[in-house]
Structure 1
């Protein structure tokens, strides 16, 4: 009597093709968020809380977490290569924005009182943006790539399971790297020069962005599930018996 061959289960993590309208929309929104948050980050912001504790941050604090949420969606649905493409595209759009600001400031303006006042306002508002962009781009590049790598590696292990846990762990890793790099470069630009202020800036930035993304994990997971269902090329892996 012939013995039945033993079998093992083999499956691969599923991803959709990035050649879809959903990917294009997410990519567009991600680029816009990055550019606007870079502009907002040129303004230092301080909140005074009861008890005499001040929170120090920048003007882009409320918007930048959205870039990571979108990065999570792209990584989970479309994979690391698609996420890397989105990250580098956002990087390029931010560079285009800062180059455009520099050219606009350099162009000769009107010499009347209003023209000179407007020129001075542009220089003050947009002049230091290139430093903020450098801080944001380096932080964003490192943070988003780490975020995507951790999420994808975990998906390869858990497949469609433990989505909330994967989102939270990858967010924590990515946001810490992003915040530390960004604050180290941007702090002097927005007027943070002492160690206490820098520690406050890093701590609040990391905790705020991470907690906001944690609060939005149910929404992020819902969006991911909806997009997966709407993507014809996203097919969940089928268990395949393979001879051992």
Structure 2
């Protein structure tokens, strides 16, 4: 399998690449919708979104491992833009006057409405977490010369999800929840997401290997500018 550099073949978007991007964005948007529900799994306090949001990190790993950091960076920003658009559309729907016969405005706002503090927490956590995850994975791939994918995916998730979870819960709930509760939820969610990634490792290996064979690429980010804002480089 040819190993290509970060500058190669960035303009060709194969069907498989588009499918992975679509899954990434869809998973992100659905996670934000179902996040309003608090759940309890084996006595661990979680959000409903915790059941699927870690998939975005798995897909991020796949994008970075196969297509390189430069493409993954663009996809992360695409996901952010789609999220902003979705929030704007939902907020517009919330602000529009309701039909006199429609009595579900409160339910609409309870499920889909978000306070500015929650939105700020979500946006900041997403960007920091995803870019940390992708950057660490790409650099570890070069350091390890492409070996030990399991170590790279789990290692990057430990850091990326750690930042994601800590940033979101701190911005969203610090001062509103007791500190011991905040730390307990933070730790529970972080451990759950790491376990999720570890259990998904065989599937990640399968998808990565098949994509590399189908696409004929295996990008190493040896000379990549890892700034999140270097979209043209």
- TM-score grouping bracket, smaller chain normalisation: 0.7 to 0.9
Matched, 1:150 2:136: yes
Matched, 1:209 2:193: yes
Could you tell me which runs of 5 or more consecutive residues in structure 2 were left unpaired when the two chains were aligned: 221-233
Give the 3 Å change call, closer, same or farther, for CA 235–85 of structure 1 in structure 2.
Answer: closer
Give the 3 Å change call, closer, same or farther, for CA 236–203 of structure 1 in structure 2.
Answer: closer
Larger Rg: 1
Q: How does 1:154-169 map to 2 (within 5 A)?
A: 154-169=140-155
Matched, 1:111 2:100: yes
Deviation at 1:159, TM superposition (A): 2.3
Deviation at 1:12, TM superposition (A): 7.0
Matched, 1:177 2:163: yes
| In 1: Cα distance, 2:115 partner to 2:33 partner | 6
Deviation at 1:65, TM superposition (A): 0.6
Give the 3 Å change call, closer, same or farther, for CA 235–43 of structure 1 in structure 2.
Answer: closer
Q: CA offsets per residue over residues 105-157 of structure 1, 9 Å max, x none? A: 11112113xx1x21221122222265444322211211111111111111112
User: Segments of 4+ in structure 1 off by > 6 A?
Assistant: none
| In 2: Cα distance, 1:225 partner to 1:214 partner | 17
More deviation, 119-128/218-227: 119-128
Matched, 1:120 2:133: no
Could you tell me which runs of 5 or more consecutive residues in structure 1 were left unpaired when the two chains were aligned: 1-10, 238-244
Give the 3 Å change call, closer, same or farther, for CA 13–160 of structure 1 in structure 2.
Answer: farther
Q: How does 1:8-19 map to 2 (within 5 A)?
A: 17-18=9-10, 19=13
Residue in structure 2 matched with residue 229 of structure 1 by the alignment: 213
Does the Cα contact within 8 Å between 1:38 and 1:129 map onto a contact in 2?
no
What's the RMSD between the two structures over aligned residues?
2.3
| In 1: Cα distance, 2:170 partner to 2:77 partner | 22
Deviation at 1:43, TM superposition (A): 2.3
Does the Cα contact within 8 Å between 1:37 and 1:64 map onto a contact in 2?
yes
TM-score (norm 1): 0.81
SS of 2:51's equivalent? coil
Instruction: Pick one of 61, 66, 76 that aligns with 2:65.
Output: 76
Instruction: Pick one of 198, 219, 222 that aligns with 2:203.
Output: 219
Does the Cα contact within 8 Å between 2:154 and 2:198 map onto a contact in 1?
yes
Residue in structure 1 matched with residue 178 of structure 2 by the alignment: 194
Residue in structure 2 matched with residue 3 of structure 1 by the alignment: none
Instruction: Pick one of 46, 63, 74 that aligns with 2:52.
Output: 63
